[in-house]
Structure 1
């Protein structure tokens, strides 16, 4: 059996080398082979259902082998899940958040923490572009002026402090810390952009009815 180069749905390593472990024919049909692989980066499993597209396939050769040109991947388990930002998050802020998510999935926890902090930094600037102060003071002013709720202010400080730790501390940022930071960041984006966007959308629909 041959190693399969495929984007891992678990650790998101691009073109990871998947090692074949077991091979069977789906419902006894040699033109629809099933192969069980493990990721060479994270070791987690991938099941691939192939299908023959022509008449020159060889059932004795693994369908992932380049010599079997007439086999293509029909379906995989688990499926690759697209990373998404909360709805109505502005495009540039969503990009920073997705970079944080991508780094989190790849277990690059320090980079994830830094990107979640950057997401917050840009989000708070957008909420009130006139505030030119540092992030700590900006969060306090936004909360004091009622532009964000008290809870949002607390979440923002958690993201700020966690992001600072990821960037400046000598000890590596842990996966648990990065996951907590992502949860706070997601909540902040939902309250700052998703809920207002949904309300505006609803008002527009009501106005047009």
Structure 2
């Protein structure tokens, strides 16, 4: 992808809106102290959320290469996460602009992960409790999982005493689910792969 006045991404890494309108707002060219390693940095702003992302490209004899790095990068769910849990988590990430839905989808992903590791009896509350008692997750992780569960319940049952979540609340739920996925599936998969080599 070239550093043009507008760049095209599938989703904004800040608000996850599909096909964001990303326009250049700033730029700079830099070199190291020995005048080597020329790079061009361009910042692009999302017209939906106002978030800015930074891109970098290197210069070669033929001109500027394509973008090789973007910050922040979009959240990506690892392929080692089981499909149902992964689908719920991807949908939560992609709907962060609709925080109530994102929170409920995050809780659904937690539920799918616990079912995947063999905890299919009872409800989500009991599955979280069993996961902690069986030392499949830490007590702190269980407490955070319960917070995600309760936040989702507030939205699912339209609890009038509970406030509506904002994007920060949704991001916190997604952050936990990403951490749980790392703990239950991604790290064990990497350990198996590393030991296999």
Q: Same fold (TM over 0.5)?
A: yes
Contact 1:124 1:138 in 2 (8 A): yes
Partner of residue 188, structure 1: 180
Any idea what SS the aligned residue of 1:182 has? helix
Partner deviation per Cα, 1:104-161 (whole Å, 9 max, x = no partner):
2xx21111101100000100111115x3201101111222233333233223212211
Q: Does 1:13 align with 2:3?
A: no
Partner of residue 125, structure 1: 115
Any idea what SS the aligned residue of 2:173 has? helix
Contact 1:46 1:77 in 2 (8 A): no
TM-score by length of 2: 0.65
| Number of positions where the alignment pairs a residue of Structure 1 with one of Structure 2 | 172
Partner deviation per Cα, 1:155-189 (whole Å, 9 max, x = no partner):
32122112222333343212222122122212211
Partner of residue 41, structure 1: 48
Q: Does 1:177 align with 2:184?
A: no
TM-score by length of 1: 0.62
Contact 1:37 1:47 in 2 (8 A): yes
Q: Rg larger in 1 or in 2?
A: 1
Q: Provide the aligned C-alpha RMSD in A.
A: 3.9
Contact 1:117 1:163 in 2 (8 A): yes
Query: Greater shift after overlay, 82-91 or 39-48?
Result: 39-48
Deviation at 1:85, TM superposition (A): 1.3
Q: Give 5+ residue unaligned stretches, structure 1.
A: 23-35, 49-73
